[in-house]
Amino acid sequence: MNRPDLLRTIAAKTPMPEDEIEPMIDEFLSSVVCALSEGRRVEFRGFGAFFSRDYESAQRRNPKTGQTVAVTSRRKVVLRASRLLLSRLRSHRPPSARRFEV
């Protein structure tokens, strides 16, 4: 699912038009990005938790050429899926018509 798909899905399930939904999604995503960039954890019960993890610079090896490469330090975003999300994915059940139950 991409951003336009999300807009259409929410607009189809609510009385709000897409042009009113889009600024809310923008603000939501901006808030999540801001929290993650500050190193805070973002948790959505029943879905999972996003957090950032810092990795230090290191020497790695290119597996194809065997050449040593310097990898700079970086920050990655990690999603730890909730048990509810994992169980739904494992059972391959389509999402119910009701909202997520927490």
Express each pLDDT in 46-64 by its tens digit. 999 999 998 999 999 999 9
SS3 content of the chain, % helix, strand, coil (to 5): 40, 25, 35
* Mean pLDDT score across all residues of the chain: 89
Express each pLDDT in 17-26 by its tens digit. 999 999 999 9
**Class of domain 3-91 (CATH, top level):** few secondary structures
What's residue 67's pLDDT?
Answer: 94
Q: Where are the domains of the chain?
A: 3-91
The separation between CA 95 and the C-alpha centre of its own chain, rounded to angstroms, equals 18
Q: What angle do CA 36, 42, 48 make, to 5 degrees?
A: 130
